[in-house]
Structure formats: structure tokens, C-alpha cells
Structure 1
């Protein structure tokens, strides 16, 4: 197995995984409730630099010669700039101005936006390896605080993150009709 930074050509494998992980939030980010159009737009943005969904913010894990998992992460202080191209696209389609997305990441944290492992490779520890790569990248960049959100009621995911040192900080947010809990971990 190999963990590496994603490349634009990984879109065909990484985008469906990220779509699965992001869920209904995808429709907000892509400005459409049509699944096919959302996947097309997501594939386009994945292959472009300097946006939230860019390959530049993605770590992949390969198994059996293919992308078996993907993780999307960025620093909260970059989120406004990373979202600008997506918001500009939605504004150009809808004619609306002053659009914004819900603020998932705090300005002082390295944020795990989404993580997913292909069904064929689940249960083999790939998700844990991606999480470790995320934490190592945060440490390498000198970020003292890591964060993620977990849907309220998803106790399995919350237990998994808690076992890795993430703690709920009491902050909750609603995105796409779902309630999420913010969890953080401080790096030494």
C-alpha cells in the first residue's frame, strides 16, 4: 500500500469516494441537486488547483494498483480563498451574489474535510492509515490543532475519532439539513 498526494488524473477514483463521504453537502458546494451534474462539477474542481476540492488538498491510498481511499484536508485559514472559485461559479449560474458556505473549519486548525475508503478495501485499516497521514501532514506543516466534524448520532464514527484522540469541543453546526459536531485534537 502506498499513501501519496493526489494527482489530477486520480479524479475518476477519488471523486466518487469523496462524494460518498461529503454526502448532501456536495449539492451545496456544487450548486445543484442533480447527482450527475454534481459529480461532473466535482470532477472538474478536483482537477483544478486552489479550491476546496482540489487534488492539492487530497491524500490517496493505493492498494492492488488503484486508489482505494481518499482524504480531503486543508487549513481553516485558507477556506475563504478555497471556496471563492466554487462560490463564483454558483453565483454565475444562479445570478445571486453574496453567497457563502457554512463555516466547517475554524481559522486556527488543519481540517479533515472528508475521508472515504472503497467498499472493496474496508476493514483493512486503510482509513486509519489515511488519518495517520493527515495527522503527520498537520505536524509537518506545524499546525498544532486538527479538527473534523461528525454527524450527530453517528456514534460509530465518533467513537473511532475519540479513540484516536479527537474530542468534541461543544461546537455544533447544521449543514444541508444535518447536524454535525466539531471534534478537535491537539498535536504535541
Structure 2
């Protein structure tokens, strides 16, 4: 494979690509949160999520590409990661009151606490035509290297319960499902060693909790 991996830039092409890949990775979530909005509007929102972020944020996002085109990306988060969110008024202007309230409530339900010495894989996606060629593993390896460089001893990710391909991918690369996160008074907390048979409180986002102890 002939490819290179670099940090994402605050560049329209980079933001459009990562935004589109994010939408394709979590289509069901976006379509459920914004049922009254067009695909174009949702894609523009996904792109804006990566536009004009703090410089430190782009150090956490890696793009994999060949000489001709972008192939995939991985976004990481650490305890000190800062990511600007769209203002409430901009959300309302973009999606209307009903969809905006649905989105804001979902953010309250799913707050992911990241403690020091822990890394989190927020998103990892590869273009459909390039899957199965080792690019996802290359991105995962780059994320793991970054976690080690920042002296993290654990790396986590959350995967949709229905995303069986995603679970197989992580398990194939040494990750183990150790339980499922639970909601508590509207906030999502990670609890190590919860039984994998525990039930989710919220059906829209059924996650599996995955961890990899770092050497």
C-alpha cells in the first residue's frame, strides 16, 4: 500500500471530506436527530463540526491518503481536548427548533468523560471502496502511536451495537469488549467491568464499550 498519514488542516477540502465521512459513519444517528432536515443541510453541519477549530484540535485528527485521493480518517480525543460546538442560535437557524432541541438533548445524554492518561477514538472511517485493504488498521495504528506518545495507558472507543463489522475490526486488532456504558441522570458514564449483558437505557445509540490496555 502506498499512502501517507498527516494531521488534518483547517482547509475546506479536508473539512468537507472528514464531515462527509463522519456522516457516512453515523448516518442513522444524524438522520434520527435531524429528521426534518435535508441531506445537504446535515452534510454542511457535519463539515462545520471540523471548520475553524482550535489549532490543538487538528493535532488529534489524522487523514490517510494516496497520491490521488483521501481514503480515511481517525479522530482522537484526550482529557484536555477542546472542540468548538455550533452555538444554539446557529443550530436553530440551521435545523429549526424541534431538531435543534432533539440534538441538544442527545448531547446531554451522551457526555463522554475522558480522564488523564486515557485516549479515546472518537471516529474512524474509511471510504467504502477502500475497505478491507488495511487502511483502517493503518489509521488505528497511528492512533495508538499517538496515545503512547502522550503517555496514555488505555485507549477506548465506542461502537454501535448493531455495527458488527466495526466490532469485528476492533477485536481482530486486539481490542476487547468489556461492557456497556450506562446513562445516569442524563449523563453517560463509563464504568469498567460492567457485564456485557447489561441493557441500554437509550435505544438510539446502543454502544459497545471497547478498551485496549497500552503497554
TM range (shorter): 0.7 to 0.9
Residue by residue over 1:122-149, the C-alpha shift from the partner in whole angstroms, topping out at 9 and shown as x without a partner, is 2210000000001111111111111111
Per the TM alignment, residue 178 of structure 1 is displaced from its structure 2 partner at its CA by: 3.2
Aligned residue in 1 for 2:193: none
More helix, by proportion: 1
Q: How does 1:79-94 map to 2 (within 5 A)?
A: 82=83, 85-86=85-86, 88=88, 89-90=90-91, 94=97
Summarize deviations over 1:32-75 as a string: whole Å, max 9, x none. Answer: 74321111122122122149xx6453211011322111112112
- TM-score using structure 2 length: 0.70
Structure 2 regions of 5+ residues with no counterpart? 183-199
Bigger CA radius of gyration? 2
Per the alignment, in what secondary structure is the counterpart of residue 86 of structure 1? Answer: coil
For residues 170 and 134 of structure 1, the distance between their equivalents in structure 2, rounded to whole angstroms, comes to 22
Q: Which structure: greater strand fraction?
A: 1
Distance 2:62 2:180 in 1: 27
Instruction: Determine helix, strand or coil for the equivalent of 1:85.
Output: coil
TM-score (norm 1): 0.79
Deviates more, 1:169-178 or 1:13-22: 169-178
CA contact (8 A) 1:71 1:112 kept: yes
Tell me the equivalent position of 2:123.
114
- Matched residues, number: 182
The worse-fitting range, judged by mean Cα deviation, of 149-158 and 35-44 is 149-158
* Deviations, residues 76-134 of structure 1 (Å, cap 9, x unaligned): x347x53x6236443786486x8561336332231111111112322210000000001
Taking the TM superposition and a 5 Å limit, the aligned residue runs for 1:23-172 are: 23-26=27-30, 33-50=37-54, 55-75=58-78, 77-78=79-80, 82=83, 85-86=85-86, 88=88, 89-90=90-91, 94=97, 99=105, 101=107, 102-103=109-110, 105-108=112-115, 109-172=118-181
What residue ranges of structure 1 are gaps of 5+ in the alignment? none
